[in-house]
Structure 1
């Protein structure tokens, strides 16, 4: 690979043409269309409505929480309809701007960034379009005053609704607190989410929780840094929450957990994104195949044919991934190369002296002992699109420290091509099975809790599967799960658009009709989802 330059591919994985131009959002509640019959609440009492959940309840969209998104949160939308049949006021812990992101004493909180916007070809940071932006929501300086009817806390798992100190800023450094909940606890920093909800004596509630109990694991590629909640903890949390919420006679509605395969964060980046026509990749194929050819001989000799890598100069190429479910054959690879008298000659083709052969043999063994080409059964997380084909700086530094020339260090550090994608970028079939099994078990718990308490139930899992499998039509509009163009999912590929949240609000009202004999649907009181934007203008700040 001595003639191969540092490879820095701009793969164009997310090259989209949006079907909707950016839209400014009308923050005023939609005026109800003329009713077909008189609207009534049935047996539900909406006088004090409280919503509990995570980011999907808070109105999180485009990878951030901001005022316009909160105005279109499904609980806030529901509250405008509930107000027509005796519902009271509905308060939310509003952010200070439409930028998104959080500060603590003027400093940006890592990982809590401004929102994404459509950049013409795909999702980009707001700053890439409008220039430098600074969030104004500061959890030390300007938290709002409660109580809040919307108790949706982005990032919360089921058991977090019961955790004391989850909103105490003193617990942030130990990662035992959530900055969004810090904004909501006020003078009672150790109060629980459920405690603050119950303090309002709710007559009606919505509960959509549990997504993060599996989603955290999925978003981290199943690398173990954010494990799936154990079943007993989840069961105890859901049971406690529902029992407590209904203890005063409150009625409510619950929703279950969608499969991760239904959301574009895991279905947008293909397993074979490397286009040989881009960035002169086709010219590099012979050299890459020479290097992998040496490895392929070892794979074939060991009967590990699924690990063989051959790049094409005419077809799209799969990325190379690390699969921890594979038997680690690092030692066998290194041993085979060290035992091969021709290997030192191969090493000289890399521009290295023959004396470097043991080092290169160890490098190849360590790097490719658990690797294979990705297949269509693997799911690449959306964020992988930003690193595929780029030089991994940590790998480059490590190889340089091992006395490899800079050119060689760079050539062996190209993400997904010469450096296998790490576990955090890919959900393998085994990891997907773990997630599905847990989701099914959690959903059984949720359905049982809803049924046992006589609550309305929304099958959000089926709804989002329908979005992914052809789309869902509501009125004159059909939403799909395609990123950017589908209208249902926001630019982060996980959370919904305002139009998507309006669809969810309609589904909640339909479920309430079934259980409590209200008539939101029959009275023509559902939302026209076409009145809600699918994206927000970068100028909205």
Structure 2
């Protein structure tokens, strides 16, 4: 009996051990399936993000790493078909117009050594562009991302017409591959009878205003959608009407798709890299600067005494420096009460609510005509184009919120997958996102998420966008698409690309 009991115990332990081994076995990968989505014919509509624009230019390697192209590659395992991209001619970037380089479309940025202070020297690569705008390439193309496009450009006839370039009515990137001069981006998409689409548009509807430092506004400091200058904020009602037309056209044939909302501009290092208070000043320089603003400050106090200005606004406008670090730059703020009739300009010092645009880093602290007493940002206030003031930030955020309400509402109405890029981008600037042994943040140059232009993603950043699109598609359509491995994507492109 005792022997039999021992035998049974050994058999029992062996059985448990076998079960434990089975439980420790790594589970088999879930097969890739499309769910209720059909990826046979995928088209991508959008702006520079869809195109793969990076480091201030469009080039072959960047286009291959666009989120749209990455998605198309992941779709293959789930029945996806060919995905044709209107490739540029080189890895230099930049455009030629009739064989002539255009300074508005220079080669891509790269790190070309280091400055004396140890910071990376970022500049256009020293190679000649070969992508000719007038050398039309034959489509149709699945990737219809057009750098610079605003929402309404996607339904604008002639946006790819060469004759409209000189008038600002056409886009050189679309001119290269539009099927015919009078077509629209939407028509070139729907003519292909897509079974699936992605739509990520609206960033430029506020971004051109923001990167210009809010230059596109009327004299009262308000966006002026009635005139629609190239840097104006698109009116939210216009955006809603356009977005409705876009999604309506794309879904008319029964296509399913994925749409994405928009991040706030403060998620982009272009607006958060340059501090508002970068000046370290010596006592003699402080005395000189404070003396220079003494008349201005005295004028503000006089206005308060005469009841023409509140103490709060006078305090906000007062310019004062102190020896040491952390002195805020002086800016021109058109949102301040206009006191020009009293001989007082609209000056104040910046606060953390104001964003210095990335290009201001090479301007703040320089002198006017070599005069050491005329220092930009200190004795010479920064003009509007160098700063996105807190009131302008609010305008951009208000418009972005309105666009996002429209995007999410239409996604629900049409039963589309919805990507919340606003939340994900915000995380990049608030501690970052972890994957494997890596951490990705929005820090300029070093964070890994953004390219050297401070606006567009790096290759790794585009991989992240593709992954969150995949998450949304899987959740909505029951697909089992796989993520890409972000560690295999670089955070910067070298100066020389093969």
Aligned to 2:250: 245
Aligned to 1:198: 190
Is 1:487 aligned to residue 481 of structure 2?
no
Deviation at 1:143, TM superposition (A): 3.4
Residue pair 2:278, 2:325 contacting (<8 A) in 1 also: no
Q: Distance in 2 between the 1:197 and 1:109 partners?
A: 29
Is 1:385 aligned to residue 379 of structure 2?
no
1:456 to 412, 417, 442: 417
Please show how residues 46-85 of structure 1 align to structure 2 within 5 Å.
46-85=39-78
Is 1:139 aligned to residue 133 of structure 2?
yes
1:313 to 315, 323, 326: 323
Aligned to 2:496: 539
Q: Distance in 1 between the 2:342 and 2:465 partners?
A: 53
Secondary structure, aligned partner of 1:473: strand
Aligned to 1:404: none
Aligned to 1:339: none
Secondary structure, aligned partner of 2:144: strand
Q: Distance in 1 between the 2:235 and 2:121 partners?
A: 34
Q: Distance in 2 between the 1:443 and 1:283 partners?
A: 51
Residue pair 1:272, 1:319 contacting (<8 A) in 2 also: yes
Aligned to 2:339: 329
Residue pair 2:106, 2:124 contacting (<8 A) in 1 also: no
TM-score, normalised on structure 1? 0.79
Unaligned runs of at least 5 residues, structure 2: 1-26, 217-228, 305-313
Report which of the two structures shows the higher radius of gyration computed on alpha carbons. 2
More strand by share: 2
TM-score, normalised on structure 2? 0.86
| CA RMSD of superposed structures (Å) | 1.7
Q: Distance in 1 between the 2:386 and 2:81 partners?
A: 45
Aligned to 1:529: 486
1:209 to 201, 209, 233: 201
Q: Distance in 2 between the 1:302 and 1:266 partners?
A: 34
Q: Distance in 1 between the 2:373 and 2:402 partners?
A: 42
Secondary structure, aligned partner of 1:540: coil
Deviation at 1:441, TM superposition (A): 0.7
Deviation at 1:133, TM superposition (A): 2.1
Structure 2 CA distance for partners of 1:275 and 1:152, relative to 1, 3 Å: same
Q: Distance in 2 between the 1:218 and 1:123 partners?
A: 25
Residue pair 1:52, 1:208 contacting (<8 A) in 2 also: yes
Deviation at 1:200, TM superposition (A): 1.0
Please show how residues 83-162 of structure 1 align to structure 2 within 5 Å.
83-119=76-112, 120=114, 121-122=119-120, 124-127=122-125, 132-140=126-134, 142-162=135-155
Aligned to 2:13: none
Aligned to 1:297: 298
Structure 2 CA distance for partners of 1:123 and 1:215, relative to 1, 3 Å: farther
Deviation at 1:282, TM superposition (A): 5.5
Deviation at 1:216, TM superposition (A): 1.3
Aligned to 1:436: 397
Q: Distance in 2 between the 1:122 and 1:371 partners?
A: 33
Deviation at 1:270, TM superposition (A): 0.4
Deviation at 1:293, TM superposition (A): 2.1
Q: Distance in 2 between the 1:123 and 1:59 partners?
A: 23
Residue pair 1:274, 1:316 contacting (<8 A) in 2 also: yes
